[in-house]
Amino acid sequence: MSCGHKGTEELTSAACIGEPVPEFVMEAFDPEDCGFCEVKFEEVKKAGKWLILFFYPADFTFVCPTELADLAQKHAELEKLGCEVVSVSTDTKFVHLAWKTDERLLQDVKYKMAADPTGEVSDYFGVYDPATGLALRGTFIINPDGVLVSSEVNFYNVGRNAEELLRKVEANVYLKDHPAEACPARWTPGDKTLTPSEKLVGKVYEQLNEEC
């Protein structure tokens, strides 16, 4: 998959939870050095990182800067968990630069802002709206093995919560190292987990409430 890059195959399938994500490349604006770059999924995997793709409808809109600002507040914690955070819209990298410069809510944004003007990447992840040419509010977590492990999609008028995104990443990071366990609702690091087995059937309350 590519975004404006010749010589690579276009996607013919759709993203599925639990399945590997194919290679893709997107042009981006990097606020850290105020320059343009490329987001290469292959490089993220080689670095052993988790990838968070944070799709939003458009630059110079209204809910979008509040979401990106909220995400920026959790960026450092997500990086400590081994995540590469990338926001994505169908705007160009040049529009990203202008928006980052003009919108004061984005002053703390340090993650890369990727451009998907053809909608190819957005379409693969199921968030592209052909009626508008925009992406819905979609958040996707891909593990270091390149497997999609989490998907969230909202309509245009509902903003997301980066605190919940951080919680989901923490749970997924924990479970990658503890594959025999499962995280119950509202789980945060240090809370009890579940160990699925025939002994747990009908006894979830007892396991969650037993004394250590």
Closest alpha carbon to 180 in 203, 191, 196, 204: 196
Task: Give, for 89, the enclosing helix (H) or strand (E).
Answer: strand 83-89
Out of 3, 64, 83, 183, the active site residue is 64
Q: Tell me if residue 3 is catalytic.
A: no
Q: Report the alpha-carbon distance of residue 137 to residue 154 in Å, rounded.
A: 5
| CA R_g for the chain | 18
What is the widest separation between alpha-carbon atoms in the chain? Answer: 59
Catalytic residues: 64
